[in-house]
Amino acid sequence: MCTSFKKELMEAGHNFKNSGGNTFNIALYTDSASFTAATTAYTSTNEITNDAGSAYSAKGNSLTRVDPTTSGTTAYTDFADTSWSTATFSAMGAMIFNDSHSGDAAVVILDFGALKTATAGTFTIAFPAADASNAIIRIA
């Protein structure tokens, strides 16, 4: 989770509500990308490109927001799964960023753990169960 995101939350810089919230995108990156908690914003450097076709566009896919909620003392939010069809590309990781925020503020960095490749197929990112133990973004 990007440190700048934590600060921006305290400045009311992000709205994850399904209705009227900000636009959050997920961009994919090659294994040359090197992000840390100090990453602050979306960058096109080392963003993936298509090996064939045009399934992937810069800044990736916009995500469908799910209203934030709580369970016990944990607050969390979720997104609907996202996919690229007729995809021919590889990615090692991803960044979720706020496309509505001036400067495209980074939210979280995701490491896929290995290079994932789709060839004339589908590239799908499934978000974890929306609960206090697994949800993609949690504040405990």
Partner 1 sequence: MINGKVGDVIVTTTDGVNLGAEHWADRATEQVISVGEDSHPFIVEQARAFKDRIRHVVHYYMIEAINEDRSRVVALLRSAGHHDLANSVEKL
The binding site for partner 1 (CB under 8 A) comprises 1, 5-6, 81, 83, 85, 87, 91, 94, 108, 110, 112, 116-131, 134-140
Query: Contact, 75 vs 67, CB < 8 A?
Result: no
Residue 117 CB, nearest approach to partner 1 (Å): 6
Residue 80 CB, nearest approach to partner 1 (Å): 8
| DSSP 8-state symbol, 136 | S
Closer to partner 1 at the Cβ: 7 or 17? 7
Residue 41 CB, nearest approach to partner 1 (Å): 17
List C-alpha distances in Å: 46 to 58, 69, 123, 134: 11, 34, 18, 28
Closer to partner 1 at the Cβ: 103 or 128? 128
Distance of CA 137 to the CA centre of its chain: 10
Closer to partner 1 at the Cβ: 49 or 119? 119
Q: Which of 22, 62, 31, 28 is nearest to 43 (CA)?
A: 28
SS3 8: helix
Residue 94 CB, nearest approach to partner 1 (Å): 8
